[in-house]
Amino acid sequence: MTTTLITGASSGLGAEMARQFAALGHDLALCARRVERLEELRAEIAAAHPDVRVEVRALDVTDDDRVFEVVRGFRDDFGGLDRVVVNAGLGKGAPIGTGCYDVNRETAMTNVVAALCQAEAAMEVFRDQGAGHLVLVSSMSALRGMPKSMTVYAASKAALSHLGEGLRSELLHSPIDVTVLHCGYIASEMNEQVAQQVRFMASTEDGVRAMVEAIEKRRPEACVPTLPWSVLAPVMRHAPLGLLRRLV
């Protein structure tokens, strides 16, 4: 039985990952700020998959001490953790220099510093166990610098992707795997206000299905959903900025 911990599991991609991993028979450690949402999700999963164990804890990922406390607590609950999915993040942002530093700082702190803390807590467990699987939920925007309200978000996800690659280089051929998911447009609570204005938007279920498939295969990195993002990835990496702006 695989035990999977998911941060930011109360809604969107995190909640749907929990549902799909439960359908595969995984025990689940779920954490987020909104505990009432987690309890509702636990009841839903228990009704559909009564053999799956689900434990929940409140977690604000920007509280460093609480991150370590929660990850260690889940480890003790289950007697170990097989996988930690660093999913919690923010998509807020504004053009730099327009008086919205507080918004951009919050996104950077959540997507970089808080993600680092989650990775530290997970890797502490995995190094002690001698095995594990760290999954970092990044973005296709990490492949290039993005304009306007996307600038800080893309930069934060680029940092996360490089964090994953650095760890993967260190842990190559070890029993600890690292997966970085470069997610394209997947419908979620975070982006519902722009869902109708964006090309290539996948449904939550289909997008997460692609994420779960890549995670289960322990792929080092993946563009998800595969189409069109695996095709667009080299274009995004190398296209002139003018063309890139028209694509995204």
pTM over 0.85: yes
d(CA 42, CA 39): 5
Return left, alpha or beta for 69; rule: phi > 0 is left, psi -120 to 50 is alpha, else beta.
Answer: alpha
Q: Known catalytic residue: 185?
A: no
CA nearest 191: which of 181, 203, 180?
A: 203
Catalytic residue among 21, 78, 126, 153: 153
Q: Could you give the count of Cα atoms lying within 13 Å of 47 in the half-sphere of its Cβ?
A: 6
CA nearest 82: which of 179, 170, 207, 160?
A: 179
In the prediction, which pLDDT does 196 show?
44
d(CA 148, CA 9): 28
Contact 202, 228 (CB under 8 A): no
The residue range of the domain holding 179 is 3-247
Residue at token pair 């964090």: 163
pLDDT digits (tens, 9 = 90+) for 196-224: 456 788 999 999 999 999 999 999 999 99
Domain at 82, CATH number: 3.40.50.720
pLDDT digits (tens, 9 = 90+) for 142-157: 999 999 999 999 999 9
Indicate the number of domains in the chain.
Answer: 1
pLDDT digits (tens, 9 = 90+) for 61-107: 999 999 999 999 999 999 999 999 999 999 999 999 999 999 999 99
Token pair in block for residue 153:
């978000």
